[in-house]
Chains A and B, each alone.
Chain A
Amino acid sequence: MAVEFSEKADAEFKELVSRYPNTLAAMLPVLHLAQREFGWISVEVMDYVAERLDVHPTKVLNAATFYTMYNKTPVGKCHVQVCTTLSCAIRGGYELIEHLEEKLGVKLGETRDDGAYTLSEAECLASCGTAPMFQVSYSDGEIEYFENLDDEARVNQVIEQLNTRLASLPDPRKMH
């Protein structure tokens, strides 16, 4: 099945392009849009974005591979990214990872077999005053910060919340 924006996404695409003096400049927001629509940025998606922006496919490849927010392989429905850079390392970020590995049943850097969770380490997410914390990127394009996670009961509560949300999230592996 060839990838193609839905009608709603297509309208958003046109609005995004209208913000810039040339189409290339819309690259970053359009790749965010494409990831939300198609789950992840495959070569097929890159070719489609290149065609829509009327730029050479290597320009899309360049941006898609430079920036970490674009997934070049599918991740889980909930991509849990734990900050461990500075204040988070000092305030329990690594302990949080150990706890999540156990509770989510997934090792750091891996995706659970059922496609529900991917667990990763992230660099500073500008949340140092509320360390430790993690960010969840959902497969519907939403991003949520969970902060002040130095209390295990609170972490478990968040995990419950994520487990509940899983049912309404698309599986990125099946989005295109």
Chain B
Amino acid sequence: MMQEKYLSRNFDIPNAHTLEVFEANGGYQAMRKAFKMDGETIIEEVKTSNLRGRGGAGFPCGIKWSFLPKESDLPKYLVINADEGEPGTFKDRYLMELDPHRHIEGCIIAAWALGIRYGYIFVRGELQHAIRRLEGAIKEAYAKGYLGENILGTGFDFDLYVHPGAGAYICGEETGLIEALEGKSGQPRMKPPFPAVVGAFQAPTIVNNVETISSIPWIIEKGGEWFASMGVEKNGGPKLYGVSGPVVRPGVYEAPSGVTVRELLEDYAGGMLPGHELKAFIPGGSSCAVMTPDKLDSEMGFETMREAGSSMGTACITFMDTDTCMVRLAARLAHFYHHESCGQCTPCREGSGWVAKVLDEIEAGRGRMEDLDLLLDMCGNIEGNTICALGDSIAIPVRSYVQVFREEFEQHIKEGCCSFPAWSKRRKGSSEAA
């Protein structure tokens, strides 16, 4: 069920990251078309497209844009959340490394539509290759007059910079990201006020994900209705999906919104590696509830995944095989969240540590039956009691592992040990398969 590619169209074209090749393949035409449209028309087109934020929360992009005040005494900002760090997620990297000009074109269109003066692409510091590609492309765009003052004689000024992160998962949260942009520790802010009203440098700010903005040129070029038709109800567009774990062809794949998990596993990624049997999967990053193979026919969509008992998140699916110990995996993820908690809210800072300790004890064979309810109780005390969603991101998955795989947890406690092979002693995948 392969389809025509849009977001990933340039991934296989050699040197598509250069301005010359990008333009030879139709690049920067959407920008020119947008300059003939007014901001209101563009915002309406984005609303019609049903483009939902691609970072994980799925907020309708056009609605978010309409929250930005038209008039402002301070210059308005566009901040791109390229702090890709949700475990299991690796799609935005491809857009930045392989097609940076499409992203820059999306930034220019967004800024034009919204009357924004400055943009910062906040890329996690480890992604030095993506940073270099973006900086190279920005330099080319300046030289061509697509960035800077009086762009193509329109009278429109827009400056765009790359801002490197420095290693903190919490900066993927939009207000943590803004704090880090301002040179502080990335501790999320209370909302309201939302960034659209008081964001970067106290000014109205739009924060969008990389893939969201890279979708904008297609909406301008082919129209909001076309984009909406490439998806399911309330969930428009072609979209990138990641597939990882013990599968034959892990990678990033483009498919319409509404593709099923089974299609992504079997048709795109070639199924599980020979000798590996599917046990569970997470649909869109480690913060989502774990799902079992009976849910394989669920459609990838914000509503459909919620109905199926989880969430679409970043749409990068991680598959696990029957060698995977769910207690150990839950413990590993709890340690991740404990490490990444910014520390300002007690339930998250302390709770994540206690959850990790209890899970470690169960995995080591020292658990007690009452620990299972204790874990659920702790999750309940964290969820909803923190400034940002990181607290929920501990509670939701941990609760799901305990509930969905309760027998496995009980087995660890009854037998006083873990009977799964150690991480480093698991069956190795064969890359020659299929």
Contacts and interface: CB of A to CB of B under 8 A. Distances in A.
Interface of A: 19, 21-22, 24-29, 31-32, 55, 59, 62-63, 66-70, 84-87, 89-95, 97-98, 123-131, 135, 142-143, 145, 148, 150-151
B165 to A, nearest CB: 7
Given A86-B332, A143-B126, 8 more contacts: A28-B165, A63-B184, A63-B185, A69-B126, A94-B422, A126-B124, A128-B242, A129-B244
Contacts of B342: 66
Interface string B129-158: 100000000000000000000000000000
Q: Which 7 pairs between the two chains have the least Cβ-Cβ distance?
A: A27-B183, A67-B166, A68-B167, A66-B185, A94-B423, A128-B244, A69-B167
Contacts of A123: 85, 87, 169, 336, 339-340
A45 B37 CA distance: 50
Contact of B286 (A67, A86, A125): A86
Nearest to B77: A21
B126 A89 contact: no
B90 interface: yes
B258 interface: no
B426 to A, nearest CB: 7
Given A28-B164, A68-B167, A94-B423, A128 B184 contact: no
B367 interface: no
Contacts of B163: 28-29
Contact of B164 (A29, A85, A91): A29
6 contacts: A28-B183, A32-B164, A63-B185, A69-B125, A91-B246, A129-B252
Contact of B166 (A68, A91, A125): A68
Interface in B37-83: none
A91 B247 CA distance: 10
A130 B247 CA distance: 11
B352 interface: no
Nearest to A32: B164
B333 interface: yes
Contact of B128 (A68, A89, A130, A142): A142
A128 B318 CA distance: 8
A87 B318 contact: yes
B183 A63 contact: yes
B253 to A, nearest CB: 10
B332 A22 contact: no
Given A25-B182, A92-B426, A93-B423, A86 B166 contact: no
Given A67-B166, A95-B424, A128 B182 contact: no
Interface residues of B, number: 61
B398 to A, nearest CB: 14
B297 to A, nearest CB: 23
B219 interface: no
B127 interface: yes
A127 B183 contact: no
Contacts, number: 161
A21 B339 CA distance: 32
Contacts of B169: 123-124
A149 B127 CA distance: 18
Contacts of B167: 67-70
Contact of A24 (B88, B182, B244): B182
A89 to B, nearest CB: 6
Contact of A129 (B86, B184, B250, B321): B250
B429 interface: yes
B183 A59 contact: yes
Contacts of B128: 142-143
Contacts of A25: 181-183, 201
B362 interface: no
Given A25-B183, A32-B166, A87 B332 contact: no
Interface string B172-183: 000000001111
Nearest to B85: A124
Contacts of B336: 85, 123-124
Contacts of A129: 90, 242-244, 250-252
A57 to B, nearest CB: 14
B429 A62 contact: no
A135 B242 CA distance: 20
A135 B93 CA distance: 15
A19 B161 CA distance: 7
A94 B320 CA distance: 16
Given A29-B163, A128-B88, A129-B242, A98 B424 contact: yes
Contacts of B318: 86-87, 90, 128
A63 B186 CA distance: 9
Contacts of A68: 166-168
A25 B166 CA distance: 13
Nearest to A70: B166
B329 interface: yes
A171 B424 CA distance: 32
B246 A145 contact: no
Given A63-B185, A67-B168, A126 B332 contact: no
B329 to A, nearest CB: 7
B292 interface: no
Contact of A26 (B90, B168, B183, B242): B183
A141 to B, nearest CB: 9
A68 B170 CA distance: 12
Interface string B80-117: 00001111111011000000000000000000000000
A39 B31 CA distance: 42
A150 B126 contact: no
A151 B429 CA distance: 10
